Amino acid sequence: MTGNRILTLALAGVLATTGAAAPAVAQSSSSDLLNRAVAAWARVKTARATFDQTIVNPLTGNTLTSSGEYQQQRPGKLSVKFNDPATDRIVADGKYVWLYLPSTTPGQVIRSRLGEGGTGTVDLSAQFLTSPRKRYDITPLGEKTVSGRATHSYRLVPKSADDAPFKSAVVYIDDKDASIRQFDVTESSGLQRSVRLTSFRANVPVDASAFNFTPPSGTRVVNR
């Protein structure tokens, strides 16, 4: 599934009230939740999660679905294992990102160097929570239950094409722990991607071996 490789991109409050003051209260609550999300992600050192992903290509009408699990150790380490197809892997080892997608490109591994400080495409939530008000025009949207969790959502539109690798995104932030539980991205190509976390645990033990990758015998390594 070609959409798997772009998962490495990387991962809102309205109060019920009455009277003329209601819009101001809703805006304040939503702003507070976004502030909490930024602060909460800054404290995350490790994470483990499971996810479902849906990709829609409006040009072809094709829809692709996949699922899997990931482990993350900040900065710069990520392991994504897909359940469907089970052969596909994405690994960031702190120096390189390895894309092994035999379901679509058999016999090939793509290796890319990480950005400065181990950042860039491997931090799934940081792309939305790093200086969001500076980088995006932000609109609170409302409530939604995601995987049984109450969330509020925000639309993020990059102020500059250099600020993000997408045209727009909607992120759904957990009301309780301020983690991102889902993000829906419209890419510059028009491709629409939705990633929903079916479980998420922060600052828990991760498997050090998950961040190691050795190209299978006989595969060709392509450097990018």
At residue 37's C-alpha, the angle toward residues 54 and 137, to 5°, is 75
pLDDT of 75 reads 83
Instruction: Give the whole-angstrom CA distance, residue 33 versus residue 37.
Output: 6
Strands ordered across the beta sheet of 89-93? 136-146, 149-158, 168-174, 180-186, 192-202, 46-57, 62-73, 77-82, 89-93, 96-100, 108-113, 220-223
pLDDT digits (tens, 9 = 90+) for 102-147: 888 888 999 988 864 433 445 667 888 888 999 999 999 989 999 8
The domain made up of 2-223 has a fold known as outer membrane lipoprotein receptor (LolB), chain A (2.50.20)
pLDDT of 125 reads 78
pLDDT of 9 reads 37
pLDDT of 122 reads 57
Residue 219 per-residue DSSP state: P
What's the predicted TM-score (pTM) here?
0.76
Instruction: Give the whole-angstrom CA distance, residue 101 versus residue 92.
Output: 14
Q: Torsion angle, CA of 24/25/26/30, rounded to 10 degrees?
A: 100
| Tokens representing residue 105 in the block | 């490109």
Give every residue of the chain whose pLDDT is below 70, as ranges.
Answer: 1-31, 115-124, 163
Instruction: Give the whole-angstrom CA distance, residue 171 versus residue 16.
Output: 21
| Tokens representing residue 211 in the block | 């961040």
pLDDT of 123 reads 67
